[in-house]
Amino acid sequence: MKYLFAVVGIVLLGYLLSGCDLIRRKKEEKVSAPARKAIARVEDTYLYLDEMEGIVDPNTTAEDSAARVSAYINSWIRKQLLISEAMKRIDINEAEVERKVLDYRYSLIGYEYQNYYIQQHLNDSIADKEIETYYKAHIDNFILKQNIVRGTYIKVPKTAPRTSKLKDMIFSNKPKDHSELRSYCLSFSAAYHLGDSTWIEFDKLTANSPMAEIPNKVQFLKTSPYYETNDNEFLYFLKVDDYKISDNISPLEFVREDIRNILLNKRKVELAKALEEEVYENAVNQKKFEILYQ
């Protein structure tokens, strides 16, 4: 069956490419369109060549195009078989189905226009003050669900050079040592996170390390500002500059991007509502509609 669909796909690809040119030429010459060419059938329902227009991207390879066409035909057949079986087994309120189809169509068209309108009018610049204000007003919504840390983590092979110097570089406050540590990590480490103002989940930071197996991580964070360990292949270095335990209030920096997305989404919703209201008010002023019965 898969082979059959592949063969059909290749043949149809040629039809699609030549068929589109033919239709275009016919339109330009203003002559009557040729009879529709059926390419699949389920009982009395047909899939026609012109219904396949747009299925294949012109830049797609012949092999991928054939696969795309075959997959579409196979999907169409399966859906038609299911519809046919449903019509035999249950009572279908076709008027209700048509209403739902129209509602869905209108929703899709409206959604596309709303997206276009939002893209044209959205101001995506969110001031820090706005983020801070939202954070303070909704602080109970930002409870940590995991332990987070700020600090330095380095995973390096045991065979790497100068591993005995890593601790000194990690604790150094000299810009030169910071630069050297970063270069070292880029050259030799298997994973690293260098200390800055960024908060990160402790479990994410220490994944694939012996520290992932620590049973009481809260106690570990409270008592281990610096920790070294190893396994058969790697050495692990962890320096914790600060930490926050789960079920406490999240620091603003950890949720800043989340808040920014929340505020952007609020603006999008407001723009969508404004568009709907603007269209309605214009229609009222221009008497574009009327209610013909009560």
Q: Are residues 129 and 179 in the same domain?
A: no
pLDDT in tens, 32-81: 556 889 999 999 999 998 888 888 888 888 888 889 889 999 999 999 99
Q: Give yes or no for a contact between 47 and 40, defined as CB atoms under 8 angstroms apart.
A: yes
**Residue 273, in any domain of the structure:** yes
Q: Are residues 81 and 125 in the same domain?
A: no
Max CA-CA distance within the chain?
A: 87
**Residue 291, in any domain of the structure:** no
**Residue 253, in any domain of the structure:** no
Place of tokens 């500059």: 241
- CA–CA distances in Å: residue 53 to residues 14, 16, 17, 194: 12, 7, 9, 53
pLDDT in tens, 20-35: 444 344 444 445 556 8
pLDDT in tens, 107-164: 999 999 999 999 999 999 999 999 999 999 999 999 999 999 999 999 999 999 999 9
pLDDT at position 94, please?
86
**Residue 290, in any domain of the structure:** no
| pTM as predicted | 0.68
Q: Looking at the 3D structure of the chain, how many domains does it have?
A: 3
pLDDT at position 10, please?
47
Radius of gyration of the chain (CA): 31
DSSP 208: T
**Residue 188, in any domain of the structure:** yes
Q: Give yes or no for a contact between 55 and 68, defined as CB atoms under 8 angstroms apart.
A: yes
Among positive and negative, which fits the CA dihedral 3, 8, 14, 16?
Answer: negative
Q: Are residues 122 and 265 in the same domain?
A: yes
Cβ-proximal residues to 118 (8 Å cutoff; 6+ apart), any chain: 268, 271, 272
Q: Which of 1, 8, 68 is nearest to 38 (CA)?
A: 8
Q: Are residues 73 and 159 in the same domain?
A: no
| Domain containing residue 77 | 2-92
Q: Are residues 272 and 131 in the same domain?
A: yes
**Residue 9, in any domain of the structure:** yes
